[in-house]
Structure 1
């Protein structure tokens, strides 16, 4: 087993630039160097360095999904570390190298169990690495629930927040909140001191509420255009605030269904591209066998036209998107490939403070995706090890040099 390898003859989409016919050298699980194919041909490598010919394929940073409830029949609502580990195992096939399992509003004891399940799985991942917990609530607006369950939505409660934080052992990375709620400023200041990224979402906020939230440190937003107060010419509301304020970053679900492709083009035109983050918001039955009963957030759902709908009333329940599909969709909507990759890697890494991730740059973790001309994942490398290989027929566990 080699401890170093070099992938050459690749189109490197590094997260800051595109480099055609280039090579990436990995040593000790980190990016050691990037150089041209011409320099590669002139170099002499010691025998312990495995050479891998990319044959012109794309080499990108690993994708970071910062809003995901589940995949493959496993989800955070299972309250099980085993389910979180299965999510980790499945995700590299879709180019994901890091993720934040996202927890719905639930009874307090269940939220604590869900948080503890994620924390228990951290450090034991067979595939994509867990970088922390995303809480989607419970301090959200009953007027903008989406399919969140109203009985588990709560007014701001600092005592509850402290208990959730304690259960996480300091591993809550982000939290979706409604800026207009009473007591939100105190909650925001409490969370900012702990390093939690606050996201405006499931919110009925006015424009003024959003500006006040930004002042308190709420500077990211959850699934832009969805479950938030709509743009109005006399009150821009939450949607308008995200469009108007360049420093307010946002998630986007790029399935072409949650948000019309033309609106995604508008967002890309008007928003600094560094402040747009691709997410899946995928549900537990995403990529699950279609002949298996499907449930999300403990409610039966069905899949139609790539969306999940709640069986009881036909309301859209969520996404069946994967990150690589989202990147492909962004490209098809007219977003440049380099920008689409940044939205899936460099942007979330910067916004969530994930050190040495999200770019192919010397000193960064060797979290890498090899994708073909159609942007189908061929190989996913996490921390210098292959975690998925199309050629190997699925998930593997060896060093990348074994390719």
Structure 2
């Protein structure tokens, strides 16, 4: 079996940082991680490939669990070709797995988007589709954000069953408002099908958030955004998530969705293992274009973030690697930022044997330099992207 040695790098395993180390890829899996000194003493086979990294970072491939589009391709295009286009575009930014995220919108559009995502799975040429994130439709009409108000629905198990089957039973996570009538029944239905529930687009008060947690709603969507605010007489969704270490949360680290100071506050109180970096990127992200449409609405890039015509934030132009760079600039240790981008989502969503650089795990790997430029991406041990400067 061919082996690939990535040597002379800084290995970010997903839980620690290891300087001057080498990683061996054996088939689809990680075969070994050793110090460069141990590597120098090893017997290298004639068929082995040795790739010197000159100090570059080697991390688990990034998993973006909340993304609507990238590189000119959007989930709301409702086409398999667009989902596969996202896959090809994302791999050049170190992303090895993603959850295409379906907007709350007109029912026919939602169903077409879900079907396209399901049909694209297994046909990817780049980042792998690990499952579908359905953002709604069981959300609060008071906290719609860039979702379509016309698509917001009361909890309806028959509708959920239909969407589940249209999606080929590939929904792995769903954003919901815990305060909605019938949410407990929906939560139990989802738990039986291993669908992770995220509190988001919610106007829940403290007690309603606790009831949601009791029903298994233990993750949250773009923390601080589109949720009930912290108040000294009602902690709301924001306060509940801050108070209770059991509930994990997404963050969009672009400096627009959430002030860097609040991210510092969050990480002071919330275990790093409970924070997941996402992009919430739109189709325009990565294209350099400043105007377009998302979920049927006109959007514009204003100072680095996409907004609707009324000024509401619609989504980001972020990449996972840029999010990691931002977090480190704000004082977050690099190994923690990488953990938020890989091992945390893998664990929270149950993506087996992904997200860590340890022997026997899937060889999904991102290599990037000290300026956070992507150099190489491996998926299942195969080189899926290589920057032009790498020979």
Q: What's the TM-score, normalizing by structure 1?
A: 0.95
Which residue number in structure 2 is paired with residue 316 of structure 1? 313
Which residue number in structure 1 is paired with residue 387 of structure 2? 390
Which residue number in structure 2 is paired with residue 399 of structure 1? none
Which residue number in structure 1 is paired with residue 302 of structure 2? 304
1:344 aligns with 2:341: yes
Please state how far the C-alpha of 1:288 moved relative to its aligned partner.
1.6
Please state how far the C-alpha of 1:392 moved relative to its aligned partner.
6.5
Which residue number in structure 2 is paired with residue 335 of structure 1? 332
1:77 aligns with 2:76: yes
What count of residue pairs does the alignment treat as equivalent? Answer: 391
SS at match of 1:98: strand
Which residue number in structure 1 is paired with residue 102 of structure 2? 103
Instruction: Tell me, in whole angstroms, the C-alpha distance in 1 between the residues paired with 2:224 and 2:312.
Output: 17
Which residue number in structure 2 is paired with residue 398 of structure 1? none
1:13 aligns with 2:12: yes
1:248 aligns with 2:247: yes
1:366 aligns with 2:385: no
Deviations 1:336-361 (A, max 9, x none): 00100000001000000000100100
Give 1:67-216 correspondences, 5 Å limit: 67-216=66-215
Unaligned 5+ runs, structure 1: 394-402
SS at match of 1:278: strand
Which residue number in structure 2 is paired with residue 276 of structure 1? 275
Instruction: Tell me, in whole angstroms, the C-alpha distance in 2 between the residues paired with 1:371 and 1:57.
Output: 6
Instruction: Tell me, in whole angstroms, the C-alpha distance in 2 between the residues paired with 1:172 and 1:113.
Output: 14
Contact kept in structure 1, 2:96 and 2:377, CA below 8 Å: yes
Instruction: Tell me, in whole angstroms, the C-alpha distance in 1 between the residues paired with 2:387 and 2:249.
Output: 32
SS at match of 1:277: strand
Contact kept in structure 1, 2:174 and 2:195, CA below 8 Å: yes
Please state how far the C-alpha of 1:107 moved relative to its aligned partner.
2.3
Deviations 1:286-338 (A, max 9, x none): 112427x511112121112110112x323222111110000000001111001
Please state how far the C-alpha of 1:105 moved relative to its aligned partner.
1.0
Deviations 1:229-279 (A, max 9, x none): 000111111000100000100000000111000000000110011000000
Please state how far the C-alpha of 1:116 moved relative to its aligned partner.
0.9
SS at match of 1:294: strand
Contact kept in structure 1, 2:174 and 2:196, CA below 8 Å: yes
Instruction: Tell me, in whole angstroms, the C-alpha distance in 1 between the residues paired with 2:312 and 2:107.
Output: 26
The 4+ residue runs of structure 1 with deviation greater than 3 A are none
Which residue number in structure 2 is paired with residue 325 of structure 1? 322
Deviations 1:104-123 (A, max 9, x none): 01222221211110111101
Which stretch shows the higher mean deviation, 211-220 or 375-384? 375-384
Question: C-alpha root-mean-square deviation of aligned residues, in Å?
Answer: 1.2
Instruction: Tell me, in whole angstroms, the C-alpha distance in 1 between the residues paired with 2:158 and 2:265.
Output: 41
Which residue number in structure 2 is paired with residue 397 of structure 1? none
Unaligned 5+ runs, structure 2: none
Instruction: Tell me, in whole angstroms, the C-alpha distance in 1 between the residues paired with 2:34 and 2:203.
Output: 50
